[in-house]
Amino acid sequence: MTPGVRPLVAGNWKMNGLKASLGEIVAMRKAAEAGAVGEAELVVCPPATLISDAAALLAGGPVALGGQDCHPRGSGPHTGDISASMLKDAGASHVIVGHSERRDAYGETDALARAKAEAAGAEGLIAIVCVGETRAEREAGGAVAVVSGQIRGSLPPLSDPRRLVVAYEPVWAIGTGLTPTAEDVAEMHAAIRGLLGEIYGPAGATMRILYGGSVKPANAAELLGLANVDGALVGGASLKAADFLGIAGVCRRG
């Protein structure tokens, strides 16, 4: 945790969730209102089909809503895409960009992630920009260099960098049950912190850096207790309110 920073725990539902799953979101709100989530700020990112319904259920409460992606343009001939203004209109305040599953499946580049983060910022959304190395890159000893390159390429200049969140997600840890060692996470987050200082100056010291990749209630305390780890981006374990809340519950303000 970083001194003075409120942790953020974001849930990425990916392509999961029907209307029947909205009860999980209601349970998240109730727990947050009851003060059962430590000192974390919560964001849930359901599929786009559920954002409006979720917005109605979360309105006026402590749990924020995010999209999982946005197009860099505001509108136009982009079949199947969603703009940052549409997400905002539907009730979202955050959006994930540059997730490794999109980088892998659709060839999304650092430049595109950066354009999406800029579009999100222009609409007043908080962009959660994902970076992370593959297993081969880590085994070759290049994890910090790879992630540093992604950070330099994916983060936009912003008038208020505190409205930007970085999520370090080793690709090989996502959905696999594997996690890096605490030393490796701490090393990477320290490197990212240094880069944020280079790019954004003093504001970089308090920008949030999340860890993502197989975070569960059982390993959350160790991972989220590390220096420069300001919360988590959670995939599978965010689908059930009890697991998501179990992760958030260990968070303490830095």
Q: Which residues bind ligand PEP (CB under 6 A)?
A: 12, 169, 174-175, 212-215, 233-237
Q: Is there a contact between 206 and 162 (Cβ–Cβ < 8 Å)?
A: yes
Q: Name the residue among 113, 118, 111 with its Cα closest to residue 98.
A: 113
Shortest distance, position 129 Cβ to ligand PEP, whole Å: 12
Give the sign of the dihedral formed by CA 71, CA 73, CA 78, CA 79.
Answer: positive
**Does the annotation count 169 as an active-site position?**
yes
Distance in angstroms (rounded) separating the CA atoms of residues 193 and 32: 29
Q: Is there a contact between 44 and 238 (Cβ–Cβ < 8 Å)?
A: yes
Shortest distance, position 13 Cβ to ligand PEP, whole Å: 9
Shortest distance, position 10 Cβ to ligand PEP, whole Å: 9
Give the sign of the dihedral formed by CA 133, CA 220, CA 40, CA 246.
Answer: positive
Shortest distance, position 130 Cβ to ligand PEP, whole Å: 7
Report the residue number, 45 or 115, with the smaller CB distance to ligand PEP. Answer: 45
Shortest distance, position 74 Cβ to ligand PEP, whole Å: 26
Q: Give the CB-nearest residue to ligand PEP.
A: 235
Quick check: helix, strand or coil at residue 173? helix
Pick the catalytic residue from 71, 101, 169, 189: 169
Instruction: Taking each helix axis as running N to C, give the angle between helix 143-154 and helix 182-200, from 0 to 180 degrees, rounded to the nearest 10.
Output: 30
Distance in angstroms (rounded) separating the CA atoms of residues 31 and 237: 16
Report the residue number, 121 or 213, with the smaller CB distance to ligand PEP. Answer: 213
Report the residue number, 85 or 236, with the smaller CB distance to ligand PEP. Answer: 236
**CB under 8 Å to 220, separation ≥6 — which residues?**
232, 246, 247, 250
Report the residue number, 131 or 191, with the smaller CB distance to ligand PEP. Answer: 131
Q: What angle do CA 211, 51, 238 make, to 5 degrees?
A: 35
Report the residue number, 191 or 215, with the smaller CB distance to ligand PEP. Answer: 215
Pick the catalytic residue from 71, 94, 99, 189: 99
Residues annotated as catalytic (active site), given as ranges: 99, 169
